[in-house]
Amino acid sequence: MNTYIYINDLRIRAHHGVLPQERQVGADFLITLRIKCDMSRSMLSDHVVDTINYAALCQLVRREMAVSSRLLEHVAGRIARAVFHEFPQTEALDLWLTKVNPPMGADCSGAGVELHLINDKTN
């Protein structure tokens, strides 16, 4: 059975970027997480303790996004490590981190990074 928890396009204002002005002024970011986990207990119990709590997951993402970084790769890596640490039942993680309207001299809706990671500790 493959079951997933996901948060789609969580919008957060943060201060990430290579240019000092980006870290000072800030920008909007979209974060999508897809977490593979066993939901068999929560499907029967109807108790939040038997699953990954969406609110706690959002709080984790907000906490990591509040730490300014130059590279989105660094931010995404921190988020992934925190998810694996705080939610050890995570079997795998897909993460998309998009900087909305990046200052790169191109007309695009966003640019970012995508991670697909497996938690070796759950196998």
pLDDT digits (tens, 9 = 90+) for 44-58: 999 999 999 999 999
Q: Given a cut of 90, is residue 16 above it in pLDDT?
A: yes
**Are 96 and 31 within 8 A, CB to CB?**
yes
Largest Cα–Cα separation, the chain: 52
Instruction: Say what the pLDDT of residue 103 is.
Output: 82
Instruction: Say what the pLDDT of residue 104 is.
Output: 79
Interatomic CA distance for residues 117 and 90, integer angstroms = 10
Interatomic CA distance for residues 84 and 123, integer angstroms = 13
Q: What is the DSSP string of 96-119?
A: EEEEES-SSSS--SEEEEEEEEE-
**Residue 123: pLDDT band by 50, 70, 90 thresholds?**
low
Mean of pLDDT values over 85-107: 93
